[in-house]
Structure 1
Amino acid sequence: MLFVSLSAARADEETLAVPAGKIILTVTGSIAQTNLDGAAAFDETMLGALPATAIDTTTVVTDGVRHFDGFLMRDLLEYVGAEGETVTATALNDYVIEIPMEDFHRFDVLVATHMDGERLLPSDKGPLWIVYPRDDHAELQDIRYDYRWVWQLIELDVK
């Protein structure tokens, strides 16, 4: 798979800094870049350095079309040199779901930091929320994708 070999090459060229602020996301498992006890730990500033993107879409838990800002999951996974078939996402409330890596190649899956211009807070789906572009693809209207919208995201484990 070309993506995997490019990811590994990119990860070898970069050094992952140690977070200076509060860690809000940890990536573990089959990754090439680590910075803390065999994991890739990120603070808000580090995640803010990833290429920014935005999507407008509806959700099953909010009213109307919402505007989300953040970064693409595939950019984060490429940055850490992730190689695997699945990503297990874990939330603050211990919700856990396995997401096929293929989702991140097929769709512009966003890790949202903001909704409608407001920073996502742990009290309301933050600090990070996995958001699918559900309005752009009819197949994303399926309930199995709705379960993959992990809010209060804190950890990703690549297998």
Structure 2
Amino acid sequence: MAASPSASPPLERNVLSLAIADRPEAARRLSLADLQRLPPQTYAAMLPAEERISRWQGVPLNQLFDGAELGRSKRLRVDALNDYSALIPLSDLDTYQPILAYRRDDHYIGISERGPLFIIYPLVKHPELRTQVYFNRTVWQVSRITLE
């Protein structure tokens, strides 16, 4: 599914909720503009049902939470707009550095293209990730990430 060169989304609209289990006071919401202020990473990846490689740009997941908070936790729970959820072990953040992508092939990802946020692993660089386990962790339409 190709990203369309449609108009840019409102960058100040909140698109992501971040939470820490058992710490409701730490919850926060981020806009695309907030995410773009963080140092970006770009990966080449082909999604399971597609036959083309895309260039994905986003924020490494390990940049979304303070390092001290990561140290006390074991995984991320990623929830999507369509009620799908996946668990990502924190070991993936160190080993493969998945990103929360907000651009695909230099375009913002619309909701109709399974955006605006997408978990992407470096599937081209690490072909061993092309398994159902990692495909299940490649969540689209990400709306909430909880540190558990």
- In structure 2, distance between residues paired with 1:115 and 1:144: 23
**Deviations along 1:38-86, whole A, 9 cap, x unmatched?**
4021111111111011111222132211111111111123379444101
Instruction: Letter of the 1:89 partner, please give it.
Output: V
Q: What residue is the counterpart of 1:113 in the other structure? A: 102
Deviates more, 1:77-86 or 1:104-113: 77-86
Counterparts of 1:10-25 in structure 2, within 5 Å, are 21-25=12-16
- In structure 2, distance between residues paired with 1:139 and 1:50: 28
- In structure 1, distance between residues paired with 2:38 and 2:63: 7
- In structure 1, distance between residues paired with 2:22 and 2:61: 14
Cα distance change on mapping 1:47 and 1:79 into 2, 3 Å: farther
Report the 3-state secondary structure (helix = DSSP H, G, I; strand = E; otherwise coil) of the residue aligned with 1:114.
strand
TM-score normalised to the size of structure 2?
Answer: 0.83
Instruction: Letter of the 1:128 partner, please give it.
Output: L
Identity of aligned residues (%): 23
Cα distance change on mapping 1:80 and 1:53 into 2, 3 Å: farther
Unaligned runs of 5+ in 1: 1-19
Q: What residue is the counterpart of 1:52 in the other structure? A: 40
Q: What residue is the counterpart of 1:89 in the other structure? A: 78
Report the 3-state secondary structure (helix = DSSP H, G, I; strand = E; otherwise coil) of the residue aligned with 1:56.
strand
Report the 3-state secondary structure (helix = DSSP H, G, I; strand = E; otherwise coil) of the residue aligned with 1:145.
helix
TM-score normalised to the size of structure 1?
Answer: 0.78
Across the two proteins, how many residue pairs are aligned to each other?
137
Contact 2:40 2:57 in 1 (8 A): yes
- In structure 1, distance between residues paired with 2:137 and 2:113: 17
Q: What residue is the counterpart of 2:58 in the other structure? A: 70
Cα distance change on mapping 1:122 and 1:79 into 2, 3 Å: farther
Q: What residue is the counterpart of 2:8 in the other structure? A: none
- In structure 1, distance between residues paired with 2:27 and 2:50: 33
- In structure 2, distance between residues paired with 1:148 and 1:87: 10
In the alignment, is residue 132 of structure 1 matched against residue 121 of structure 2?
Answer: yes
Instruction: Letter of the 2:92 partner, please give it.
Output: D
**Deviations along 1:89-124, whole A, 9 cap, x unmatched?**
000000011111111111121111111111101111
In the alignment, is residue 156 of structure 1 matched against residue 145 of structure 2?
Answer: yes
Report the 3-state secondary structure (helix = DSSP H, G, I; strand = E; otherwise coil) of the residue aligned with 1:64.
coil
Return structure 1 stretches of 4+ with deviation > 3 angstroms.
Answer: 78-83
Counterparts of 1:26-45 in structure 2, within 5 Å, are 26-30=17-21, 38-45=26-33
